[in-house]
């Protein structure tokens, strides 16, 4: 019997189903190749990628400059551990620290690890610098946060699916409403043992919730007034995704050409991951100035792979691409086009309630019950029409293409999206 193309798809899905833990519910499409804004499945069908691996692939799939850095460094020296120095780490730390405007960088691999690292730095700072009594430090977080999947991080999630039966949970976190300065101020006033405030500049996983205009700036000011560290989780929003180098940075003194002057909001601790490598390799980082980073001492934290020479080479190439190809600018401009066109459509739509976002991190809210499967069905139909996207929560679909997209490609994508939505009106 001859193997049909459909069989290739089914075979790959069956293997995952039989031999892989069932910790995801992927869209039924099996990808085998990527280039720039496009991916191809095992049946040879070509798609626009409108998720970018949750914004890890901002620089586009298999960017030649990043791939070359990966290959060249892998052939020379891949891993030493931090037991010895390597000749790439320092170069990378200097490059990235200057790029984002901080004194120092601590290298890790995944976003969740970087968040854990930030929490540890914050707690140490609380005891050793701020003078909070041992084991009393509290960190403020927001409802509907997403910071990763480790035991401590899910301890302060309020997503029942992420938490259920993974207790007992880590103590030391106070949850407040997102985008509420009142809640933040009240909590800061009530409690003398607050060490930090951990926040996403836009809540991506929750459904691309953009806070009020002055929220981050005012929240930072409140933190400063109470001697509390402002910790920005920019794992998803960072590195040009929202039309600026960082979503916290309106106008900061970083390496981004289009961005000079004083920072609008400069976090005390900045957490980066995902697009730090352009999707080629797991690279994450925590950045802070000396006054905070000095609490980290030999033996107090580490990672076998963190800061390895391949990660260093890949991250430098990935960050250079962001600047060389003006990805922040492009995300800004295309984001305006995207929301304008979608808003025009939404005026006459019954199926879409609204579009929201910044730069090329956007979402539409489907006009149906939160637990309906309409968004899922729309994503299946988008796939049939050659565009891959995924619902975030229930009736919300996130749209986050690679930032190397051209305006012509984006307009092509908008046409696909609107044509698909019309089929559901
Ligand atoms: C994806 C994400 C993380 C976790 O990153 P992983 O690499 O999956 O561990 C943390 N914070 C935010 C805001 C994210 O979007």
Residue 274 designated active-site = yes
Cα 323 to middle of ligand 1, angstroms: 23
Q: Which residue pairs from 28-37 have beta carbons closer than 8 angstroms and sit at least 24 positions apart in sequence?
A: 28/380, 29/383, 29/388, 34/61, 34/62, 35/60, 35/61, 35/62, 36/60, 36/61, 36/62, 36/63, 36/402, 36/404, 37/61, 37/401, 37/402, 37/404, 37/405, 37/409
Residue 390 designated active-site = no
Q: Given the residues 220, 266, 274, 358, select the one marked as catalytic.
A: 274
pLDDT for position 259: 54
**Domains recognised in the chain with CATH numbers:** 5-59+327-422 (3.90.1150.10), 64-324 (3.40.640.10)
C-alpha dihedral (163, 168, 172, 174), degrees to nearest 10: 40
pLDDT for position 394: 82
Length, in residues, of the chain: 425
Count of alpha carbons within 13 Å of 228, Cβ hemisphere only? 29
Index of the ligand 1 atom closest to the CA of residue 200:
13
Cα 236 to middle of ligand 1, angstroms: 7
Q: How far is Cα 387 from Cα 380, in angstroms, rounded to an integer?
A: 9
The answer to whether 394 and 375 are in contact (CB under 8 A) is yes
Q: Is 49 in the pocket of ligand 1 (CB under 6 A)?
A: no
Give DSSP secondary structure letters for 342-381. Answer: HHHHHHT-SSEEEEEEETTEEEEEESS-TT-SHHHHHHHH
Cα 350 to middle of ligand 1, angstroms: 33
Pocket test of ligand 1: the residue of 115, 152, 241 to mutate, having most ligand atoms within 8 Å of its CB, is 115
- Least Cα distance to 368 among 358, 377, 356 occurs for 377
- Least Cα distance to 332 among 392, 280, 410 occurs for 410
Residue with tokens 């798809």: 9
Query: Token pair for residue 372?
Result: 């309906």
pLDDT for position 390: 95
Q: Which residue pairs from 216-225 have beta carbons closer than 8 angstroms and sit at least 24 positions apart in sequence?
A: 216/247, 216/248, 216/264, 216/265, 217/264, 217/265, 218/181, 219/181, 219/184, 220/265, 220/266, 220/267, 222/181, 222/184, 222/185, 222/188, 223/188, 223/196, 223/197, 223/268, 225/188
pLDDT for position 36: 98
Q: How far is Cα 45 from Cα 165, in angstroms, rounded to an integer?
A: 40
Read off the pTM.
0.97
Pocket test of ligand 1: the residue of 24, 117, 273 to mutate, having most ligand atoms within 8 Å of its CB, is 273
Index of the ligand 1 atom closest to the CA of residue 282:
7
pLDDT for position 5: 84
Strand partners, 105: 287
Burial (CB count <10 Å: 0-12, 13-18, 19+), residue 55: buried
| Coil, helix or strand at residue 72 | helix
Query: Token pair for residue 21?
Result: 């833990």
**To the nearest whole number, what is the mean pLDDT of the chain?**
95
Helices within 52-110 (DSSP H only): 52-55, 64-76, 89-100
pLDDT for position 262: 55
Cα 57 to middle of ligand 1, angstroms: 13
Q: Is 235 in the pocket of ligand 1 (CB under 6 A)?
A: yes
CA-closest residue to ligand 1 atom 5: 111
With a cut of 50, which residues of the chain have pLDDT below it? 251, 253, 260-261
Residue 146 designated active-site = yes
């Amino acid at each position: 019997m001859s193997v049909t193309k459909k069989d290739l798809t089914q075979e790959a899905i069956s293997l995952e189903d039989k031999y892989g833990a069932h910790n995801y519910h992927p869209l039924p499409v099996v990808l085998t190749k990527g280039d720039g804004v496009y991916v191809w499945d095992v049946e040879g069908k070509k798609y626009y990628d409108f998720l970018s691996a949750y914004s890890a692939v901002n620089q586009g799939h298999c960017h030649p400059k990043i791939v070359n850095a990966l290959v060249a460094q892998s052939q020379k020296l891949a891993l030493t551990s931090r037991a010895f120095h390597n000749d790439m780490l320092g170069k990378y730390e200097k490059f990235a620290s200057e790029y984002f405007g901080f004194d120092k960088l601590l290298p890790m691999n995944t976003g969740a690890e970087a968040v854990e690292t930030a929490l540890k730095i914050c707690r140490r700072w609380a005891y050793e610098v701020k003078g909070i009594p041992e084991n009393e430090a509290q960190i403020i977080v927001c409802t509907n946060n997403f910071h990763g999947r480790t035991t401590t991080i899910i301890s302060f999630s309020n997503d029942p699916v992420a938490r259920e039966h993974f207790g007992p949970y880590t103590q030391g976190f106070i949850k407040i409403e997102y985008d509420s300065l009142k809640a933040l101020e009240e909590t800061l006033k009530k409690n003398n043992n607050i060490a930090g405030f951990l926040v996403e500049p836009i809540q991506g996983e929750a459904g691309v919730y953009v806070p009020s205009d002055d929220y981050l700036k005012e929240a930072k000011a409140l933190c400063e007034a109470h001697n509390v560290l402002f910790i920005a989780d920019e794992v998803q929003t960072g590195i040009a995704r929202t039309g600026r180098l960082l979503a916290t940075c309106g106008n900061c003194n970083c390496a981004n050409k289009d961005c000079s002057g004083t920072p609008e909001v400069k976090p005390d601790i900045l957490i980066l991951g995902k697009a730090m490598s352009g999707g080629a390799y797991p690279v994450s980082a925590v950045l802070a100035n000396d006054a905070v980073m000095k609490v980290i001492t030999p033996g107090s934290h580490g990672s076998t792979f963190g800061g390895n020479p391949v990660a260093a080479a890949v991250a430098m190439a990935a960050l250079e691409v962001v600047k060389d190809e003006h990805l922040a600018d492009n995300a800004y401009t295309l984001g305006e086009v995207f929301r304008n066109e979608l808003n025009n459509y939404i005026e006459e739509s019954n199926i879409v309630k609204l579009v929201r976002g910044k730069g090329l991190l956007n979402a539409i809210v489907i006009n149906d019950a939160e637990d309906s499967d309409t968004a899922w069905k729309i994503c299946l139909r988008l796939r049939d029409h050659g565009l891959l996207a995924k619902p975030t929560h229930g009736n919300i679909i996130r749209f986050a293409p690679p930032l190397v997209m051209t305006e012509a490609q984006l307009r092509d994508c908008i046409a696909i999206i609107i044509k698909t939505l019309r089929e559901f009106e």
